[in-house]
Amino acid sequence: MESVRFRELKRSDVEALLAFEIDNREWFESHIDPRPPAFYSLQGVADHIDGYLSEFALGSWHPFVIEDAAGKIVGRANLKGIRSSSGVAEVGYRIARNACGQGLATLALTRLIQEAQVRWGLKQLIAYAYEENVGSRKVLGRCGFVLDQPACSGSAGSECRFVLAI
């Protein structure tokens, strides 16, 4: 992958984030649950960002964007549901279709693991991926996540739970 930059989500990202989400909507919805239609507007994305930044201020989310060398958003990565008292959080990421297959998801997840350890002092991360989302399942395995068997039914459309002790 060419040079990329990870940075925290900002209020000024509304237009760039909307473009990223619209450009990749079909791709994302083939792998994860769709967002509500109201999300796909300047106001919808502004509200989304405000929500994430409010949760960040409370210490329960840590949202990032990933930019290419030209400053275009090519991915997102989040620590979510941070529970500092128990040392646990969930991870989530989404990578633009045209940036897939270049190691960006692995870089994003590696960055989240580092942030979880260094900034938040977390001890366990949890991730979810649909059974048929082979790419995400490979990335999770590559980064040390292991399948939590009881949470994965093995049927199409089922979500599998992965955990990482850090």
Along the 166 residues of the chain, how does pLDDT read in single tens digits? 569 999 999 999 999 999 999 999 998 988 888 899 999 999 999 999 999 999 999 999 999 999 999 999 999 999 999 999 999 999 999 999 999 999 999 999 999 999 999 999 999 999 999 888 888 999 999 999 999 865 565 555 678 999 999 9
What's the rounded Cα separation, in Å, for the pair 81 and 126? 10
| Nearby residues of 10 by Cβ (< 8 Å), 6 or more positions away | 49
- Give the model's pLDDT for residue 31: 81
Q: How, if at all, do strands 88-95 and 73-83 pair?
A: antiparallel
- Give the model's pLDDT for residue 11: 97
Question: Other C-beta atoms within 10 Å of 110: how many?
Answer: 16
The ranges assigned to domains in the chain are 4-165
Domain spanning 4-165: which superfamily? Gcn5-related N-acetyltransferase (GNAT) (3.40.630.30)
pTM over 0.85: yes
- Give the model's pLDDT for residue 6: 96
What's the rounded Cα separation, in Å, for the pair 118 and 121? 6
